[in-house]
Amino acid sequence: MNTMPVAYLILLRLEFTNGRIWEINVQEQLANAEAEEIANKLLNIFQEYRNDIKKIDFQMDVERLKNDIQESSKNLL
């Protein structure tokens, strides 16, 4: 969460050691709160459950990330 902007995340899927699975729709969360607030909430979840989380998967909006990088590169030149 410190290196990837939350705005590019679509979904986080947390698998716990006890078999539970949480799916967090990040894009839905972003509709109701600022990205920094969502990032802080996610960091708190990771810290609180760090010993219980077995696996973290995520979906990213790769196309949006690609477009933003291209635009930023154009602006540098």
pLDDT digits (tens, 9 = 90+) for 57-73: 999 999 998 888 888 87
Mean pLDDT for the stretch of residues 36-42: 92
Domain chopping of the chain, boundaries: 6-76
Q: What is the pLDDT of residue 72?
A: 81
With 60 as the cut, is the pLDDT of residue 2 above it? no
Q: CB-based contacts of 11: which residues, under 8 Å, 6+ apart?
A: 23, 24, 25, 26, 27, 58, 59
Q: What is the dihedral sign for C-alpha 66, 61, 26, 34?
A: positive
**Rounded CA separation 11/27 (Å):** 7
pTM of structure: 0.78
Q: Looking at residues 29-46, what average pLDDT do you find?
A: 92
pLDDT at 75: 72
Give me the chain's average pLDDT, please: 90
Rounded Cα distance between 40 and 33, Å, is 11
Q: What is the pLDDT of residue 77?
A: 62
